[in-house]
């Protein structure tokens, strides 16, 4: 049911972990829906230098988290804000229909982290 | 019998490509979902897909050749649950049996009353049938269970009213394996003269099931949980119980269920019931020993694991556990990559947005419900398979925990 790319990112997730003293942190989801994604950012000169994630969730949740970190690194904050959940799913060659809503929140988590960075006044 | 079983085991374990691309051995630990077809059942059914193709309702040679086989199967099924053959109605699956039992009673006894009692942890075949009746004006009491998934008999007794026409309470739970005190339920039902239906799809063939000693009036079986094909089952209807049919049609099954018999599957189902009865005690001890080995191994090698279901009153092969901080589907996918087939109560695997209703009914914390993982073992599993699972499981759990924002080392 999952594409090869999803299985690749699920079994070898990129950028797992936390960043010490991150510039921004974003979290979406909750335990009741079964998915929680947390994104940590390092920003320099308006460019995302590093992203790490921690995720509680199904295969799609872990794969989209991993993919969004790859897509975001090196982007400006403006570019990163334009990344959508749909674009993340597309980069994984698609997700099963049932997963498009519940487990496809990685871009939202990234946007939350950027918002947190901006609000913390840096 | 043994050599055939062994062959089956080997063919089940053929090498295959996992989703991750590595070659791994297949290990099946999802017997509550379905079971492999028993080789003996396959041998028994094949003639009925070939030369013995007749319709058992026909009077000519072709019909006569198979009607005896259907009647023999009826006796084999009846013997497993200690009823008479005439009380067995063949149906297309367990789901049909539950629908028939509940809706067929509701319609037949409508003039007597409009109240049904069931539990919050039934299979969807029962719950959805009850909900459908609620839309037609019936009232349904859903009895709660405690943290172990156990039923409160006092609450059952208190729920019975003048207008109660049916008690529908399952024998063994498919998710947790918790076994309800069915003899006591039957005793209460008899005392208040209320008809008693039990879904014994998971219990039959695994633990003793006797409709006489338990005072059961309606009981449902499904072939594919005991080594027969998918798409065949039986409803036991105690003699004298008035029922309205679900499938109106021809005169098959003494007018109780229309439709030409699924002869081949019925023959296999009959044999599977006979074999399950003959092997019940040996399989019970064998499977329970494997399950206990797995349970002990998991609880001693992994921290923060919760057992879901009753610690003792449980089907021999079922183990349902929640591993804190991780979600069930991601665990299943990791196990699948290592060749192991299990199942989970997480929303992601149920096809809904909610985790298992059984976990919810037991008051399991919602994150732990999403993490619930069911290993259900059968007679073909081996100690080596259990030990292999115990070897690969702790590192998988640890890796997923380290990825989880809920986990603080
Ligand atoms: C307890 C229980 N009842 C009913 C059913 C439905 O049986 P079937 O798959 O034959 O419709 C199942 C199987 O999923 C079950 O476990």
* pLDDT tens figures, B210-238: 999 999 999 999 999 999 999 999 999 99
In the sheet that holds A35-44, the strands lie side by side as A24-30, A35-44, A47-56
**Percentage above 90 pLDDT, chain B:** 91
Q: Residue length, chain B?
A: 409
Which of A27, A34, A39 has the most B C-beta neighbours within 10 Å, making it the best mutation to test the interface with B?
A34
Residue A28 and residue A9 in contact, taking contact as beta carbons nearer than 8 Å: no
Domain boundaries, chain A: 4-119
- Residues B271 and B322 reside in one and the same domain: no
Q: What is the pLDDT of residues B153-205, one digit of tens each?
A: 999 999 999 999 999 999 999 999 999 999 999 999 999 999 999 999 999 99
CATH of the domain at B114: 3.40.640.10
With CA atoms as reference, the chain A residue closest to B326 would be A56
- Residues B373 and B312 reside in one and the same domain: yes
pTM above 0.90, yes or no: yes
B21 — pLDDT class (breaks 50, 70, 90): low
Please state whether beta strands A47-56 and A35-44 pair in parallel, antiparallel, or not at all (unpaired): antiparallel
pLDDT of residue B345: 87
| Mean local confidence (pLDDT), A11-17 | 97
Question: What is the CA B210 to chain-centroid distance, rounded?
Answer: 16
Domain boundary among B225, B252, B275: B275
pLDDT of residue B25: 92
Please compute Rg for chain B using Cα positions. Answer: 22
- Residues B237 and B378 reside in one and the same domain: no
Contact A57 B327 (CB under 8 A): yes
- Residues B88 and B211 reside in one and the same domain: yes
The pair of structure tokens assigned to B164 is 């109660």
pLDDT of residue B28: 98
pLDDT of residue A104: 86
Distance CA B144, CA B155 (A): 9
CATH of the domain at B395: 3.90.1150.10
- Residues B356 and B331 reside in one and the same domain: yes
B351 — pLDDT class (breaks 50, 70, 90): low
Does a structural domain hold residue B407?
Answer: no
CATH code assigned to A4-119:
3.90.1010.10
Q: List the alpha helices (DSSP H) in B302-345.
A: 328-337
Residue among B142, B125, B391 nearest B233 (CA): B125
Q: What is the pLDDT of residues B274-287, one digit of tens each?
A: 999 999 999 999 99
- Residues B263 and B347 reside in one and the same domain: no
Q: Annotated catalytic residue: which of A7, A33, A86, A87? A: A33
| Mean local confidence (pLDDT), A44-60 | 96
Give chain A positions within 8 Å (CB) of B343.
Answer: none
Query: B197: CA distance to ligand 1 center in Å?
Result: 15
- B17 pLDDT exceeds 80? no
- Residues B15 and B47 reside in one and the same domain: no
Q: Give Cα separations from B7 to A63, B13, B341 (angstroms).
A: 39, 10, 20
With CA atoms as reference, the chain B residue closest to A57 would be B327
Report which ligand 1 atom has the smallest distance to the Cα of B93.
10
| Mean local confidence (pLDDT), A66-79 | 97
* Full DSSP string of B320-378: EEEETTS-HHHHHHHHHHTTEE-EE-SHHHHTSSS--HHHHHTT--HHHHHTEEEEE--
pLDDT of residue B5: 42
- Among B91, B95, B149, B178, the mutation site with the greatest number of ligand 1 atoms within 8 A of its Cβ is B95
Distance CA B315, CA B326 (A): 26
Strand-pair partners of A37: A28, A55
Distance from CA of A96 to the nearest CA of B (A): 11
Domain boundary among B275, B305, B331: B275
Give chain B positions within 8 Å (CB) of A10.
Answer: 330, 333
Averaged confidence pLDDT in chain B: 94
- Residues B252 and B299 reside in one and the same domain: no
In the sheet that holds B88-91, the strands lie side by side as B88-91, B233-237, B218-222, B195-199, B164-168, B115-119, B139-143
pLDDT of residue B313: 98
Residue B342 and residue B332 in contact, taking contact as beta carbons nearer than 8 Å: yes
Report which ligand 1 atom has the smallest distance to the Cα of B96.
11
| Mean local confidence (pLDDT), A105-121 | 94
B354 — pLDDT class (breaks 50, 70, 90): confident
pLDDT of residue B4: 41
A112 — pLDDT class (breaks 50, 70, 90): very high
| Mean local confidence (pLDDT), A23-29 | 96
**Percentage above 70 pLDDT, chain B:** 93
Report which ligand 1 atom has the smallest distance to the Cα of B32.
16
Query: B102: CA distance to ligand 1 center in Å?
Result: 15
Angle, CA B390 vertex, CA B178 and CA B350 arms, to 5°: 50
Does a structural domain hold residue B251?
Answer: yes
- B6 pLDDT exceeds 50? no
B85 — pLDDT class (breaks 50, 70, 90): very high
Domain boundary among B260, B275, B290: B275
Residue A36 and residue B406 in contact, taking contact as beta carbons nearer than 8 Å: yes
Give chain B positions within 8 Å (CB) of A102.
Answer: 347-348, 353
Residue B228 and residue B73 in contact, taking contact as beta carbons nearer than 8 Å: no
Query: B7: CA distance to ligand 1 center in Å?
Result: 27
Residue among B255, B406, B382 nearest B330 (CA): B406
pLDDT of residue B8: 44
Distance CA A49, CA A51 (A): 7
| Mean local confidence (pLDDT), A10-23 | 96
* Domain of residue B10, residue span: 3-37+279-402
Distance CA A43, CA A24 (A): 8
Q: Which residues contact B258 (CB under 8 A, 6 or more apart)?
A: B245, B247, B248, B249, B250, B251, B252
- B12 pLDDT exceeds 60? no
- Residues B99 and B176 reside in one and the same domain: yes
Residue B235 and residue B89 in contact, taking contact as beta carbons nearer than 8 Å: yes
- Which residue did the predictor score with more confidence, B65 or A23? A23
Give chain A positions within 8 Å (CB) of B367.
Answer: 31, 56
Write down the residue that tokens 């009036």 correspond to: B217
Strand-pair partners of B128: none
Distance CA B381, CA B290 (A): 8
Q: Active site includes A33?
A: yes
**Percentage above 70 pLDDT, chain A:** 99
Does a structural domain hold residue B199?
Answer: yes
B392 touches chain A (CB under 8 A): no
- Sign (positive/negative) of CA torsion B397, B398, B403, B404? positive
| Mean local confidence (pLDDT), B365-387 | 96
Half-sphere exposure of B191 (CA within 13 A, CB side): 11
């Amino acid at each position: 049911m999952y594409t090869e790319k999803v299985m690749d990112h699920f079994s070898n997730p990129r950028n797992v972990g936390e960043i010490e003293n991150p510039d921004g942190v974003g979290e979406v989801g909750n335990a009741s829906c079964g998915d929680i994604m947390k994104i940590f950012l390092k920003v320099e000169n308006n460019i995302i230098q590093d992203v790490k994630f921690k995720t509680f969730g199904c295969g799609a949740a872990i794969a989209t988290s991993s993919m969004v970190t790859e897509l975001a690194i090196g982007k400006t904050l403006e570019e990163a804000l334009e990344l959508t959940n749909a674009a993340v799913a597309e980069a994984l060659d698609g997700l099963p229909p049932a997963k498009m809503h519940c487990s496809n929140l990685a871009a939202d988590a990234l946007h939350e982290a950027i918002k947190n960075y901006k609000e913390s006044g840096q | 019998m043994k050599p055939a079983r062994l062959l089956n085991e080997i063919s089940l374990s053929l090498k295959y490509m996992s989703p991750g691309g590595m070659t791994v051995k297949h290990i099946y630990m999802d017997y509550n979902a379905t079971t492999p077809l028993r080789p003996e059942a396959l041998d028994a059914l094949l003639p009925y897909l070939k030369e013995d193709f007749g319709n058992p309702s026909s009077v000519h040679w072709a019909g006569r050749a198979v009607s005896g086989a259907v009647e023999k199967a009826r006796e084999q099924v009846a013997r497993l649950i200690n009823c008479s053959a005439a009380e067995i109605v063949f149906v297309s699956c367990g789901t049909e049996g539950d629908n028939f039992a509940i809706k067929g009673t509701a319609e037949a006894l409508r003039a007597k009353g409009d109240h049904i009692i069931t539990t919050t942890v039934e299979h969807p075949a029962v719950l959805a049938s009850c909900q459908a009746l609620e839309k037609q004006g019936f009232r349904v009491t859903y009895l709660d269970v405690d943290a172990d998934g156990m039923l409160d008999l006092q609450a059952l007794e208190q729920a019975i009213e003048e207008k109660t026409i049916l008690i529908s309470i399952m024998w063994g739970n498919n998710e947790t394996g918790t076994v309800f005190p069915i003899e006591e339920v039957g005793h209460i039902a008899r005392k208040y003269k209320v008809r008693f239906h039990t879904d014994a799809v998971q219990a039959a063939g695994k633990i003793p099931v006797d409709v006489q000693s338990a005072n059961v009036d309606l009981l449902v079986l499904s072939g594919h949980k005991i080594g027969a094909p998918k798409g065949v089952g039986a409803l036991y209807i105690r003699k004298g119980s008035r029922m309205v049919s679900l499938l109106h049609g021809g005169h098959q099954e003494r007018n109780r269920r229309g439709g030409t018999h699924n002869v081949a599957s019925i023959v296999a189902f009959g044999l599977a019931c006979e074999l399950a009865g003959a092997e019940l005690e040996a399989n019970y001890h064998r499977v329970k020993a494997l399950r206990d080995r797995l349970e002990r191994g998991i609880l001693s090698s992994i921290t923060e694991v919760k057992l879901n279901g009753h610690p003792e009153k449980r089907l021999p092969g079922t183990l349902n556990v929640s591993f804190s901080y991780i979600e069930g589907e991601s665990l299943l996918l990791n196990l699948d990559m290592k060749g192991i087939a299990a199942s989970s109560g997480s929303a992601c695997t149920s096809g809904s947005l909610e985790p298992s209703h059984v976990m919810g009914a037991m008051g399991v914390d919602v994150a732990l419900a999403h993490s619930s993982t069911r290993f259900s073992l059968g007679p073909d599993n081996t100690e080596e398979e259990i030990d292999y699972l115990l070897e690969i499981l702790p590192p998988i759990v640890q890796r997923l925990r380290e990825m989880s924002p809920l986990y603080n080392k």
